[in-house]
Amino acid sequence: MQPIIQLWEDLRLTLRQLRAHPGFSTAIVLTLALGIGANTALFSVAESILLKRLPYAHGDALVHVVPRIPATVGDQLYFPVPEVFEYRRQSRTLAEVMEYHSMTFNLVGSGEPDRIQTGVVSANFFGAFGVTPLLGRGFRAGDDQPGADPVLLLTYDYWHRHFGGDPGIVGRRLRLNDRPILIIGVLPPLPAYPGKNQIYVPTSACSFRSSEHAKADRSLRFIEIWGRLQPGTDGSHAQAELATIAGRIGRAFPAPEVSNMDLEVVPVKEELVGTFRSRVMILLAIAGMVLLIVCANAANLTFARLLRRERELMVRAALGASWARLSRLVLLENLVSSLLGGACGCVLAWTGLGALVAFAHRFTPRADEIRLDGFALLFSLALSLLAGFVSGWLPASRALRRDVADGLKCGGERSAGASTKHHRFRDLMVTAQVGFSFALLIGAGLMVRSLIRLLQVDPGLRSEKVLTADVPLPPSRYGASPAKQAAFYQRLLTELAADPEVVAAATSSDVPMASAEPMTPSYRVAGQPVPAGQPSPRADLHVASDDYFRVLGIPLLAGRTFARHDDLGSPRVVLINRSLAHRWWPNRSALGRQIGIDVHTGGPGWRTVVGVVGDVRQEGLEAPPRPAIYVPYQQMIGAGSQVFVRTRTDPMSALAKLRAIVRTIDPDQPVASAQTLEQVRGEALSPTRLTTTLLLLFAGLGLAIAALGIGAATSFAVAERVPEIAVRMAVGADRERVLRLLLSRGMRPVLAGLACGLVAALALTRLLGGLLYGIQATDPLALAGALLVLLAIGALACYVPARRAAGLDPLTALRS
């Protein structure tokens, strides 16, 4: 009972001390709140995405089977429909094999026509994932059989956004590409995986997938395969077995373009995390550095306060208080301050969690699962106790080591040896703060330099004043008539170009810089046979109308661009980019050369190169340009649905005109994904920009705390040396000499911290290496910039108290 009463008395005394010194208490609490809050927020991100189980009943057993051709353009391949049945029949390591592909369809019957991304899956897809619908039922075995009644499942987000969360939606009939379809259920909240789909339909509801052509043609590769592992089977066994099956299929149905294909079995949990793991680990390391700076700052403040309370503590010791009791009082003060800081930190973490969720959305479909849950709060509590213990025990162990009789005899004044030890401790804390701040500044400088390099990248086009929108035509109304499709787009582009605010309009198969995967067929070059046993080269394939290069400002380097007469009744032609021309004809003209593309392009035979255009960064600004082939839209009807409009004013002003023209031509045709090309470029930059912003925030926070710590430590050190300064000035030392003396003394731990910070920076820059573009992790400009900033801030933090001390009147100082 006695220890509890004593602890209660200590706690009451601690609270009185904190109330008696509100400035000191507030500084400690707020400093710790910043460090603990940042770490709590980032831990909640890591815990929600990296540690939590998948929201699927069979999540640990789910794998994605990915076919790849190493070291080629478009290294990820797909499966043809017949192979799905082969793997399903032959595999023993996979309990279930599921197929998936994604397409866009027009959904009509619920207000304005809507263009929606649709996942086309086998009937066992969600059952194998272990997903039970929130409303209605899931797909059944008969739903993907030929002739089955078309049905669909709504995703949770689309149900809420488009149907207002109507619980009576099940059983309602809509039209999907002019075909009646029945809503049978609503999926629970799930990650946007395998893609950002709004609805799911079984394979029988997709006319392209269920066609006899798709079922029989093994060269038509568009299917992805997922599997659920048998109990007791791991991914390596499944990969070995599937590679054997792939070899048997390859021997039975040889195809040169996939002759060296590899199969990779990727756990779904790893695929959902993707590249976000490295970014989270980097941010956690940075937040940890901020917390160490905070703890060093709190320890320094506590140490300075203990020195001011030294006589009080000695009197307590003389009256019978043990050093253990006094240490416990000091430690309890810091623990209470740290717990208060942890509580404030949780509030800060909760406030900033929305920004981190938006950041995570750029990298992982699991971003919506991020929560500040009980586990994160326990982490915050543990961090608060640890920070309180470290920032309390370290200064207490250094300050409470003096003999009581000696301390009382000297009137509380410290000996030279004690003062030296105290200086060493303060210097050590300042060194730690400067070192970690230096590492953070170098990391932030590297990311800023990388972002600047990305901003300077030439995308190969002019993105200003260009509107892009998706206007794909449903095959149910237009698929059987290429002439009808051509007429639709021709009328649309003609009426858009007639607007006085429009410079030109065009259509294409994809949007540059959008990170979408283009078609990557293999191709042949006349007179350049492929060596036996080697795969055919591959290139990105883009479909474009005649004004496409003018609208996007892609430069023509040789020959001509497409013309209106490049249609199905004309000779087959292509344009190629600089990269492909340089590969095959580095010192000769590519014009008039013959290229054969291994894809259904409206007719057999070779195509003639009629022009060479500049390289465009289709895959994003960080990805280098790849060999590319452009085919006239009218010679590959149905492959292009992206509309581009270059305007003389704000490009979004053309959106209303675009929608009005489309509605006039076809009232049931939606216009989707409308945005400017500048917005597309901004999206391509956003991952690097967001990571840089977070790093700058952390670096600025650490720098501000370190600057305050340097200033506080220098102020306390100067205050201790006031009598010495007065004596020096009384015997003839001028102010400039005293100022230099104090500055040199204050800058010693700063310089030591810069040297130590280089070691911490090496570890941090090694983590950052994969995020940098166009610079090395040892970039001298980033290093020099961080060095100059910290030197300037350290010098300023030392100069202010030193200048104040140098301006003291010697007589006044000696009297005091």
Closest alpha carbon to 470 in 199, 74, 197, 106: 106
User: Which range, of 4-18, 88-102, 485-499, averages the lowest pLDDT?
Assistant: 4-18
Show the CA angle centred on residue 394, arms to residues 759 and 751, nearest 5°: 35
Q: Is 321 left (phi over 0), alpha (psi -120 to 50) or beta?
A: beta
Closest alpha carbon to 33 in 295, 395, 284: 295
- What SS3 state is found at 672? strand
Average pLDDT in the 375-398 region?
80
One-letter amino acid for residue 659 of the chain: R
One-letter amino acid for residue 672 of the chain: A
Average pLDDT in the 105-115 region?
78
| Band of residue 115 on the pLDDT scale cut at 50, 70, 90 | confident
The whole-angstrom distance between residue 812's C-alpha and the CA centroid of its chain comes to: 60
Task: Rank 98-102, 284-288, 744-748 by mean pLDDT and report only the highest.
Answer: 98-102
| Band of residue 76 on the pLDDT scale cut at 50, 70, 90 | low
Average pLDDT in the 589-597 region?
91
- Model pLDDT, residue 538: 83
pLDDT > 70? residue 808? no
Closest alpha carbon to 238 in 217, 266, 259, 210: 266
pLDDT > 80? residue 102? yes
549/462 Cα distance (integer angstroms): 10
Q: What is the pLDDT of residues 687-719, one digit of tens each?
A: 888 888 888 888 888 888 888 877 777 777 776
End-to-end CA distance of the chain: 48
pLDDT > 90? residue 804? no
- Model pLDDT, residue 131: 93
Q: Which residue has the higher pLDDT, 346 or 336?
A: 346
Q: What is the pLDDT of residues 133-160, one digit of tens each?
A: 999 999 998 898 888 899 999 999 999 9
User: Which range, of 128-137, 170-179, 366-375, 761-770, averages the lowest pLDDT?
Assistant: 761-770
- Model pLDDT, residue 321: 57
Average pLDDT score over the chain: 82
Sign of CA dihedral 611, 615, 618, 619: positive
- Model pLDDT, residue 13: 66
Contact 124, 96 (CB under 8 A): yes
What element of type H or E holds 105? strand 94-108
- The CA–CA distances, whole Å, from 449 to 454, 763, 786 equal 9, 19, 12
Q: Which residue has the higher pLDDT, 22 or 151?
A: 151
- Model pLDDT, residue 416: 45
Q: What is the pLDDT of residues 243-260, one digit of tens each?
A: 899 888 888 888 766 667
Q: What is the pLDDT of residues 391-430, one digit of tens each?
A: 777 666 655 555 544 544 454 454 444 455 566 777 788 8
Rounding to the nearest 10 degrees, give the CA dihedral for residues 397, 398, 400, 401: 100
What element of type H or E holds 379? helix 374-399
- Model pLDDT, residue 812: 62
What tokens were used for 302? 């506590």
Contact 140, 123 (CB under 8 A): yes
- Model pLDDT, residue 552: 93
- Model pLDDT, residue 405: 45
209/101 Cα distance (integer angstroms): 9
- Model pLDDT, residue 336: 83
Q: Which residue has the higher pLDDT, 514 or 44?
A: 44
pLDDT > 90? residue 755? no
Q: What is the pLDDT of residues 219-250, one digit of tens each?
A: 788 899 999 999 988 888 999 999 899 888 88
What tokens were used for 676? 């400017």
| Band of residue 363 on the pLDDT scale cut at 50, 70, 90 | confident
450/453 Cα distance (integer angstroms): 5
pLDDT > 60? residue 601? no
Q: Which residue has the higher pLDDT, 719 or 457?
A: 457
Contact 177, 199 (CB under 8 A): no
pLDDT > 60? residue 513? yes
pLDDT > 80? residue 732? no
| Band of residue 488 on the pLDDT scale cut at 50, 70, 90 | confident
- The CA–CA distances, whole Å, from 257 to 64, 522, 584, 815 equal 22, 7, 19, 93
pTM reported for the whole predicted model: 0.77
Q: Any idea which residue has 């390289």 for tokens?
A: 615
- Model pLDDT, residue 619: 82
740/712 Cα distance (integer angstroms): 18
pLDDT > 50? residue 193? yes
36/231 Cα distance (integer angstroms): 42
| Band of residue 486 on the pLDDT scale cut at 50, 70, 90 | confident
Average pLDDT in the 46-74 region?
82
- Model pLDDT, residue 189: 93
Q: Which residue has the higher pLDDT, 814 or 289?
A: 289
> Phi first, then psi: what are they for 577, rounded to 5°?
-90, 175
User: Which range, of 393-397, 524-528, 566-570, 586-590, averages the lowest pLDDT?
Assistant: 393-397
Beta bridge partner(s), residue 644: 468, 506
Average pLDDT in the 504-519 region?
84
Contact 547, 601 (CB under 8 A): no
Q: Any idea which residue has 């000035």 for tokens?
A: 729
475/202 Cα distance (integer angstroms): 17
- What SS3 state is found at 135? strand
Average pLDDT in the 123-138 region?
93
563/556 Cα distance (integer angstroms): 14
User: Which range, of 37-51, 180-194, 285-299, 525-539, averages the lowest pLDDT?
Assistant: 525-539
pLDDT > 50? residue 766? yes
- What SS3 state is found at 16? helix
- Model pLDDT, residue 418: 47
